[in-house]
Amino acid sequence: MGCPGQYGYIGKVSSQRTRGVGAAHDERQHQIVDAVLALIGEQGLDGISLRDVATKAGVSLGRVQHYFRTKDQMLRAAFERVNDLGAALVGQRLADAGDSSPRTVIRAIATELLPIDDLHRHALQVGMAFTARALVADDFAARLKAGYGELHNLLVLLLTTARDAGDTRPDLDIDHEARLLLSLIDGLSTHTLIGHHTPDTALAVVDTCLDRVFTS
């Protein structure tokens, strides 16, 4: 889970080179999904047609249909991909952080979940499109919930570490605190996307909140 480039929607596990050209299978699938994500960022999740995707990817409609038997499968693959991409970004941040303080790590994660540049803005925009769809598609909601669950567990781990090190009040309700942080970051992200405040302000608000959690 969370390994980029591995989506199981075709039944096999990864690049297999069984028959035919086979070799560049994943790469071409990848290219189509990227076109889908780009279009979602431009026009939203709906209003996307298979023909638009084909044009954007620079391939024929037939090819798109070859890799995704239905439109639903295609969108599902795009959803998986944006989830994997997000997980990869956060994972990279975690790896880079090394043994920094919990507060530093949490702030780094927050930075990764805010639209601080065009790349993040686009990814979050796509994420919000899928979130809106999750409200009427239960399986999408389940996947999203799992993702938030992972982030929640990560925050719980970090906060526990901090508390044990004496960097927070000893009676800190860690579960509530993790929910608060994650919800706050998500809300700030949405409001920043809308333009209600700037990325800088959003980060400052995160810092304000962290000031109140950490004692050191």
Partner DNA sequence: AGCAAATCAAGTCAACCGTATCGGAATGGG
Partner DNA sequence: CCCATTCCGATACGGTTGACTTGATTTGCT
CB of 47 to a second copy, least distance (A): 7
> Contact at 8 Å (CB) between 113 and 187?
no
CB of 140 to DNA, least distance (A): 17
SS3 track for 78-125: HHHHHHHHHHHHHHHHHHHHCCCCHHHHHHHHHHHCCCCCHHHHHHHH
List the structure tokens of 136: 């009427």
Identify the residue among 19, 98, 117, 136 touching DNA (CB under 7 A).
19
How does DSSP assign 137-191, residue by residue?
-HHHHHHHHHHHHHHHHHHHHHHHHHHHTTSB-TT--HHHHHHHHHHHHHHHHHH
Decide if residue 20 touches DNA (CB under 7 A).
yes
Identify the residue among 100, 165, 187, 215 touching a second copy (CB under 8 A).
187
Please count the residues of this chain forming the interface with a second copy, following the rule CB under 8 A.
47
CB of 112 to a second copy, least distance (A): 16
> Contact at 8 Å (CB) between 199 and 116?
yes
Per CB under 7 A, which of residues 36..95 are in contact with DNA? 48-52, 59-63, 65-67, 69-72
CB of 2 to a second copy, least distance (A): 18
Decide if residue 186 touches a second copy (CB under 8 A).
yes
What is the maximum alpha-carbon separation in the chain?
62
Identify the residue among 27, 196, 200, 215 touching a second copy (CB under 8 A).
196
Residues engaged in binding DNA (CB under 7 A):
17-23, 25, 28, 48-52, 59-63, 65-67, 69-72
Residues engaged in binding a second copy (CB under 8 A):
42-47, 125, 128-129, 131-136, 141, 144-145, 148-149, 152, 173, 176-177, 179-180, 182-188, 190-191, 193-197, 201-202, 204-205, 208-209, 212
